[in-house]
Amino acid sequence: MTSFAAGEEQWRARLGTLRQVVRQELVSRQLAAQLPATPLRVLDVGCGQGTQLLRLARDGHHVTGVDSSPTLLDELLRALADEPDDVRARVRTVQDDVRNLASLFDAGSFDVVLCHGVLMYFADPDPLLDDLARLVAPGGVLSLLVRNGDALAMRPGLRGDWDATLGAFESSSYDNRIGVTARADRIDDLAASLADRRMQVRAWYGVRVFTDVAADDAPLPHEPALTALLECEERAGATDPYRRVAALTHVIACRG
């Protein structure tokens, strides 16, 4: 696998486009449905520019973001500078490789651990899953966003790329839109891996059921079309059979 760093510049260039906004908005809504309103200790592993981290801080949670990219963390800090004092006081950032989590934090340090769009860049996800599960406090929550291995043929199939579609049926890897070869997870396999770490899946969702084949630079539609689009994506992401063919799978698991 190639690391995310190889495609980071393209990732940054596409922030604010339709596909990215759908992803972030859906994940935020799905996560909010599973978290209590009381302030929580949150760790965002691979926080990037901090979209989810900032939303949680605004909601009153105390959040720590870890990322290896100084560029993305600088963007987060610039955004944070525009927030009220109380929001800024609830945010901490750490520049480090996510493979160093065991040396950065004590076991059970967080009520919520987020790891969104990161596992796909690890050929062997088990060491990172071990670290993530270890950091979740009793009764806490782990939120994972992964590429859906059960639907790898959907994107090339809908584009009419039949050679790629045939190959995708039997594959567990794919070439993503930022030019990086990455890995996908199947929901049943991921649930079993979490169970081995004493984490039980509480809920799981699909993300980008309808909009995954949108152009890389597709802009947001005007209201009320955007509201309707997000409502359809949210409903499909929580409903079978639609969630099973989404580009991304969002898993929320709990300890105890």
Q: Within its chain, how far is the Cα of 240 from the centroid?
A: 20
The CB density around residue 54, as the number of other CB atoms within 10 Å, is 21
pLDDT of residue 239: 98
Q: Which two tokens stand for residue 251?
A: 């898993």
Sign of CA dihedral 163, 165, 166, 167: positive
Closest C-alpha among 253, 135, 143 to residue 202? 253
220, 108 contact by CB (below 8 A): no
Q: Which two tokens stand for residue 148?
A: 């859906």
First to last CA, the chain: 33
Low-confidence ranges of the chain (pLDDT < 70): 1-2, 11
pLDDT of residue 1: 41
132, 142 contact by CB (below 8 A): yes
pLDDT of residue 11: 66
What does the pLDDT look like over 10-32, one tens digit per residue? 768 778 899 999 999 999 999 99
pLDDT of residue 84: 98
Angle 98-57-139 from CA coordinates, rounded to 5°: 70
DSSP reduced 3-state for 97: coil
Find residue 45's DSSP bridge partners. 66, 115
CA–CA distance, 149 with 21 (Å, rounded to integer): 22
CA–CA distance, 48 with 41 (Å, rounded to integer): 18
Cis amide leading into 125 (omega within 30): no
Residues 6+ apart with CB under 8 A from 115: 45, 46, 98, 128, 132, 142, 143, 144, 145
The 41-45 sheet, strands edge to edge? 91-95, 62-67, 41-45, 110-116, 136-147, 248-254, 200-207
pTM for this structure? 0.95
